[in-house]
Amino acid sequence: MSDLLSSLNPSQREAVLHFEGPALVVAGAGSGKTRTVVHRIAYLLRERRVYPAEILAVTFTNKAAGEMKERLEKMVGRSARDLWVTTFHAAAVRILRTYGEYVGLKPGFVIYDEDDQNTLLKEVLKELELEAKPGPFRSMIDRIKNRGAGLAEYMREAPDFIGGVPRDVAAEVYRRYQNSLRMQGALDFNDLLLLTIELFEQHPEVLHKVQQRARFIHVDEYQDTNPVQYRLTRLLAGERPNLMVVGDPDQSIYGFRNADINNILDFTKDYPGARVIRLEENYRSSSSILRVANAVIEKNALRLEKVLRPTKPGGEPVRLYRAPNAREEAAFVAREIVKLGGYQQVAVLYRTNAQSRLLEEHLRRANVPVRLVGAVGFFERREIKDLLAYGRVAVNPDDSINLRRIVNTPPRGIGATTVARLVEHAQKTGITVFEAFRAAEQVISRPQQVQAFVRLLDELMEAAFESGPTAFFQRVLEQTGFREALKQEPDGEDRLQNVEELLRAAQDWEEEEGGSLADFLDSVALTAKAEEPQGDAPVEAVTLMTLHNAKGLEFPTVFLVGLEENLLPHRNSLHRLEDLEEERRLFYVGITRAQERLYLSYAEERETYGKREYTRPSRFLQDIPQDLLKEVGAFGDGETRVLSQARPEPKPRTQPAEFKGGEKVKHPKFGSGTVVAAMGGEVTVMFPGVGLKRLAVKFAGLERLE
């Protein structure tokens, strides 16, 4: 046991030694939560003699799952291979591949990504003769499914118009989209979890089998779970839960993806008597950075009490730069980075992708190499999606979206008019598009090219079940003239290199994981954009990314730019307390990415929607005591002004002078609470045990407690 516990602090040790029953581990930023989970699993295996096959650990990314597996293999050896370390979606795919027929799934179902969803939605909109873009409808579909409430319930609260069409028409878009998915033997990402829940609820015998495979459950980043993931976790945990959830409400930043912070805040209500363990020792950031982080996040009401304690003493002061405009802000960042050197140790974080352009421009002008996170992912590049489409059709010929993608890729003389007539025939007769292709001689006068294409697909379908992914893609390249077609394109050399990289990725996957073409396609579908390797980025490069993409990462030096009202907090978050608090958490996440050096900056003028506008510093900067910041000049040379001497943020005339937010108050009925917002003669107060209450200051009878 000594080797398991000797490197842990007392709180980590308490979490590791927890055996049965529910437990909530409130793990602050940089507090070693992954180490704690890994050691806890090793403890179950080595000291409690739990079978590896009875342990499930759920993370939010494939990368995190892979890192956890690697660390466990080093600690417990080969038995780690029998552990179920996975993501929610990967676990759902595994369950549905085994038991999907219980809910009407065909064995070869395919998983549609955003691009496939958009293509399908465009077809639905065309069928309904709607001149609308697919984006708003895809967002609507995601919200409906992530909430798990169903179409009817969502539509009761939906706005009158969605995507420019009445909501009853939008509901018909949803229904036709779902019907098209089923016709093509396809699921989108959200269906994976919803169908798994349906499977468990309708077939308790299947749930019981899976529960036997998951007696001890760990869920990482629990604050990021949405209602559907919450329901799935509750079902798996069952009536006698050995469930340990790990997370930090202060880092809940994915509300736009329907993550529900209440899942973690209410854990002890869901599981009365659950043990609560707080990991507050921070191993990442210097003391000066943590003081700023704590000062910011303590202003939020929707949180579990926690204070990060540094293990690194002292540290450089947090620097603040006030730029006259956005260009000068970008120039300042570039100058400081050149002075610092060590480009791979630096990250520049911002609220929106649009902010990256000026930063890229000034960094490249200063000959600083850049790695831009959030650009087009490898698996989204056209030539890669084309090759993957061949694989998807070979596994599931009913997939008409990918069938139409490859029908004339590379060109083989099958025109759009021919395809349209075959699709129309399929719709009229109620058959699949591929079946219509097979019957081409009954529909078109010159079916030879279509018949040759069908023969090619028949051969590839056979190859899909006889060979692994590497051999399959090589066969596609040989039999279709794919390489030769790419060579004719202006950027053909780059695209050919991407094709070779796909072959290497398939070969690496076969060596590490093994399995069929269908298994490889599942693996690709479950790989998030943010996890894809940036193969063309220089190693010695500054990382540019949004605050959302920075979650889970750390860098010796961090520049956090654009700290202005309407950017951070974002203009869309100013109307609801919950959204405003999430923006503050986003700022907190950015601060806690920094290990040694942190720069904060804002511009007094910025171009927005083509117009130059004067800005105000973010209200979150006012949360930081002045003595924790060192304001620097344009060339970073020493202290100049303190924040209070900068252009102050004007208060709305209607805001009550006596309340700004953060005050402790007492109400005659609701008891003690904390003011979390004040505007227009009203305050919003968080009362423990009661919740949020909006009160008119004039009549509320609030008494200040300090």
100 is in an annotated binding site: no
Give the tens place of pLDDT for each residue, 362-375. 998 899 988 888 65
Which amino acid is located at 107 in the chain?
A: P
Residue bearing the bigger pLDDT, 195 or 654:
195
Per-residue pLDDT at 609 exceeds 60: no
* Highest mean pLDDT of the ranges 298-307, 475-484, 554-563, 655-664: 554-563
pLDDT at position 136: 86
63 is in an annotated binding site: no
Per-residue pLDDT at 651 exceeds 50: no
Is 168 a residue of the active site?
A: no
CA distance 506 to 509: 5
Please check whether residue 123 is in contact with residue 92, taking contact to mean a CB–CB distance below 8 angstroms.
no
Residue bearing the bigger pLDDT, 404 or 487:
404
Q: Which of 221, 248, 360, 623 is catalytic?
A: 221
Q: Which residues contact residue 144 at a Cβ distance below 8 angstroms, ignoring those fewer than 6 apart? A: 150, 151, 154, 174
* Confidence category of residue 643, pLDDT binned at 50, 70, 90: very low
30 is in an annotated binding site: yes
Residue bearing the bigger pLDDT, 437 or 638:
437
Is 33 a residue of the active site?
A: yes
Q: Which of 36, 211, 251, 684 is catalytic?
A: 251
29 is in an annotated binding site: yes
Q: Which of 34, 449, 474, 622 is catalytic?
A: 34
Per-residue pLDDT at 208 exceeds 70: yes
The CA angle 160-165-168, to the nearest 5 degrees, is 60
Cβ neighbours around 164 below 10 Å, total: 12
Average per-residue pLDDT for the chain: 87
331 is in an annotated binding site: no
Per-residue pLDDT at 640 exceeds 60: no
312 is in an annotated binding site: no
Domains in the chain, please, with CATH? 3-98+194-279 (3.40.50.300), 110-184 (1.10.10.160), 288-374+537-632 (3.40.50.300), 378-529 (1.10.486.10), 663-704 (no CATH)
Is 251 a residue of the active site?
A: yes
Give the tens place of pLDDT for each residue, 91-125. 999 999 999 999 999 888 999 988 889 999 999 99
Q: Give me the DSSP letters along 510-549.
A: HHHT---HHHHHHHHHT--GGGS--TTS-SS-EEEEEHHH
646 is in an annotated binding site: no
Is 220 a residue of the active site?
A: yes
Give the tens place of pLDDT for each residue, 53-84. 999 999 988 888 888 988 998 888 888 888 99
Is 312 a residue of the active site?
A: no
Per-residue pLDDT at 602 exceeds 80: yes
Is 142 a residue of the active site?
A: no
pLDDT at position 528: 58
* Confidence category of residue 574, pLDDT binned at 50, 70, 90: confident
Q: Which of 113, 116, 220, 583 is catalytic?
A: 220
pLDDT at position 227: 93
Q: Which of 319, 404, 593, 619 is catalytic?
A: 593
pLDDT at position 654: 36
Residues in the chain: 706
CA distance 592 to 555: 10
What angle, 0 to 180 degrees and rounded to 10, lies between the N-to-C axes of helices 114-127 and 167-183?
120
Give the tens place of pLDDT for each residue, 39-56. 999 999 988 999 999 999
Per-residue 3-state assignment (H helix, E strand, C coil) for 589-635: HHHCCEEEEEEEEEECEEEECCEEEECCECHHHHHCCHHHEEEECCC
573 is in an annotated binding site: no
pLDDT at position 487: 82
Q: Which of 12, 13, 33, 211 is catalytic?
A: 33
Per-residue pLDDT at 637 exceeds 70: no
